């Protein structure tokens, strides 16, 4: 089993990304890690190492992403695993979030990820090997969370594009994994990672309660251990047959099962009517 891979990880200065980078370096991998601010990354991953390449990257910019990929390959000679981890949460009802607030969430969570995929694929295709790991969320599979509609929409988009990506690049020897974490005890629910509406509406009491619950009660009490989550992601990267879908955390697994049961019920309840929609055959 190959143990000396070159990893490229976005959003690496905190959360799952930071835990991943630290574990990878401890295991002897070569790691290019990105953050919006280089000093944040250097402070978070303190030891200097020939195996570590910290990069200041704006994933919303194709030029910035392309430069970082070029520098990674220039330093390490290849690229084996790409982890799209950068992103942020957004809580607010669909009515109260502005167009700008909504589009910015898509700009980072979806189009930033696409920038990385587009710029990494030429190298992976040339190698005829590699692994793209996209960090989505259970909120990209189940959207029954009041106040998280836009965030869910971004992660549903990541689910859809990753499934298509897997089909498109399989023939090049490139693996694809979609990670859908539940609640892990990171700083994801703090103000630096969770945005709120600039103009909240008093009418949405349930949304405010959801917001308050996440910021004041769930934050710091998430059941998932990020170090264990990262271990699973690394194991998936080492597998000869890695999963396309990786629901990470007991809560994520249960929510996925609940969604599947709901889908099955709707399918069966409406099967006769929904499938009786073809043109009548002329005898």
- The catalytic residue positions are 151
User: What distances in angstroms separate CA 37 from CA 55, 192, 196, 251, one per listed residue?
Assistant: 8, 13, 22, 32
Distance CA 142, CA 153 (A): 10
Length of the chain counted residue by residue: 283
Alpha helix segments (H runs only) across 9-85: 15-26, 38-44, 62-76
Nearest to 178 by CA among 222, 225, 233, 229: 233
Return the residue matching tokens 């892990």: 184
Nearest to 42 by CA among 4, 69, 13: 13
Q: Tokens for 92?
A: 């607010």
Residues β-bridged to residue 179? 135, 246
Distance CA 196, CA 215 (A): 11
Residues 6+ apart with CB under 8 A from 191: none
Edge-to-edge, what's the strand order for the sheet holding 174-181? Answer: 52-56, 30-35, 6-9, 81-84, 130-135, 174-181, 245-248
Distance CA 223, CA 177 (A): 23
């Amino acid at each position: 089993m190959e143990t000396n891979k070159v990893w490229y990880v976005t959003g690496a200065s905190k959360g799952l990304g930071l835990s991943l980078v630290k574990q990878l370096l401890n295991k002897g991998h070569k790691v290019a890690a990105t953050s919006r601010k280089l000093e944040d990354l250097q402070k978070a991953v303190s030891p200097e190492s020939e195996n570590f390449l910290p990069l200041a990257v704006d994933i919303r910019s194709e030029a910035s992403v392309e430069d970082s990929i070029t520098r990674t390959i220039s330093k390490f000679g290849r690229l084996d695993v790409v982890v799209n981890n950068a992103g942020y949460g957004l809580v607010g009802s669909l009515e109260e979030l502005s167009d700008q607030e909504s589009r910015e969430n898509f700009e980072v969570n979806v189009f930033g990820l696409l920038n990385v995929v587009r710029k990494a694929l030429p190298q992976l295709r040339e190698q005829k090997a590699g692994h793209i790991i996209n960090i989505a969320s259970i909120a990209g599979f189940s959207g029954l969370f009041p106040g998280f509609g836009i965030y869910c929409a971004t992660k549903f988009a990541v689910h859809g594009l990753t499934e298509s990506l897997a089909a498109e690049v399989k023939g090049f020897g490139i693996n694809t994994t979609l990670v859908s974490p539940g609640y892990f005890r990171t700083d994801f629910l703090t103000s630096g990672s969770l945005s709120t509406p600039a103009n909240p509406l008093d009418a949405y009491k349930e949304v405010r309660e959801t917001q308050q619950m996440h910021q004041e009660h769930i934050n710091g009490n998430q059941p998932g251990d990020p170090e264990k989550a990262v271990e699973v992601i690394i194991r998936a990267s080492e597998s000869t047959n890695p999963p396309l879908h990786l629901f990470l955390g007991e809560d994520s697994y249960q929510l996925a099962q609940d969604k599947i049961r709901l889908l099955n019920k709707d399918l069966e309840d409406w099967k006769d009517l929904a499938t009786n929609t073809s043109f009548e055959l002329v005898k």
